[in-house]
Copies of this chain bind each other. A is one copy, B any other.
Amino acid sequence: MLDLYSQISSVPIGYNHPALMKLVQQPQNASTFINRPALGILPPENFVEKLQESLLSVAPKGMSQLITMACGSCSNENAFKTIFMWYRNKERGRTGFSKEELETCMVNQAPGCPDYSILSFMGAFHGRTMGCLATTHSKAIHKIDIPSFDWPIAPFPRLKYPLEEFVKENQQEEARCLEEVEDLIVKYRKKKRTVAGIIVEPIQSEGGDNHASDDFFRKLRDISRKVEDLIVKYRKKKRTVAGIIVEPIQSEGGDNHASDDFFRKLRDISRKHGCAFLVDEVQTGGGCTGKFWAHEHWGLDDPADVMTFSKKMMTGGFFHREELRPNAPYRIFNTWLGDPCKNLLLAEVINVIKREDLLKNATHAGKALLTGLLDLQARYPQFISRVRGRGTFCSFDAPDEPTRNKLISIARSKGVVLGGCGDKSIRFRPTLVFRDHHAHLFLNIFSDILADFK
> CB within 8 Å of B: which residues of A?
7-8, 10-11, 15-17, 20-21, 23-25, 27, 30-31, 33-38, 41-42, 70-74, 77-78, 80-81, 84-85, 87-89, 97, 101-103, 105-109, 112-117, 122, 127-131, 134, 137, 140-151, 153, 194-203, 220-221, 223-224, 227, 230-232, 234, 310-311, 314, 316, 328, 330-331, 333-336, 341, 345
| Nearest chain B CB to A329 CB, angstrom units | 8
- Residue ID in chain B nearest A311 by CB atoms: B335
Q: How far does the alpha carbon of A21 sit from the alpha carbon of B25 in the complex, in Å?
A: 11
Q: Decide if A145 touches B84 in the complex (CB within 8 Å).
A: yes
9 interchain residue pairs of minimum CB distance: A130-B131, A108-B148, A113-B148, A7-B38, A77-B129, A88-B145, A70-B70, A20-B34, A70-B71
CB contact under 8 A between A310 and B335, given known A147-B149, A194-B220, A197-B202: yes
| Nearest chain B CB to A215 CB, angstrom units | 14
A sample of 23 inter-chain contacts (CB < 8 A) reads A7-B38, A11-B35, A21-B31, A21-B34, A23-B34, A24-B24, A70-B70, A71-B334, A73-B74, A78-B129, A84-B145, A84-B147, A97-B140, A102-B140, A105-B148, A106-B122, A114-B145, A116-B147, A130-B130, A147-B149, A196-B201, A197-B200, A311-B335
Q: Decide if A127 touches B334 in the complex (CB within 8 Å).
A: yes
Residues of B with C-beta under 8 A to A314: 36
Q: How far does the alpha carbon of A38 sit from the alpha carbon of B318 in the complex, in Å?
A: 21
| Nearest chain B CB to A341 CB, angstrom units | 8
- The one of B89, B129, B231 in contact with A199, judged by C-beta atoms closer than 8 angstroms, is B231
Which residue among A25, A85, A202, A220 has the maximum number of chain B CB atoms within 10 Å of its CB?
A25
Q: Decide if A31 touches B16 in the complex (CB within 8 Å).
A: yes
Q: Decide if A345 touches B34 in the complex (CB within 8 Å).
A: yes
Residues of B with C-beta under 8 A to A72: 334-335
Q: How far does the alpha carbon of A143 sit from the alpha carbon of B105 in the complex, in Å?
A: 6
Q: Decide if A129 touches B130 in the complex (CB within 8 Å).
A: yes
Q: Decide if B336 touches A10 in the complex (CB within 8 Å).
A: yes
Q: Decide if A34 touches B10 in the complex (CB within 8 Å).
A: no
Which residue among A34, A134, A224 has the maximum number of chain B CB atoms within 10 Å of its CB?
A34
Q: How far does the alpha carbon of A112 sit from the alpha carbon of B203 in the complex, in Å?
A: 30
- The one of B20, B102, B145, B200 in contact with A198, judged by C-beta atoms closer than 8 angstroms, is B200
Residues of B with C-beta under 8 A to A7: 36-38, 42, 335
Q: How far does the alpha carbon of A385 sit from the alpha carbon of B77 in the complex, in Å?
A: 38
Q: How far does the alpha carbon of A8 sit from the alpha carbon of B117 in the complex, in Å?
A: 32
Which residue among A20, A31, A143, A199 has the maximum number of chain B CB atoms within 10 Å of its CB?
A199
CB contact under 8 A between A108 and B10, given known A15-B35, A74-B129, A81-B146: no
CB contact under 8 A between A34 and B8, given known A131-B131, A144-B105, A153-B108: no
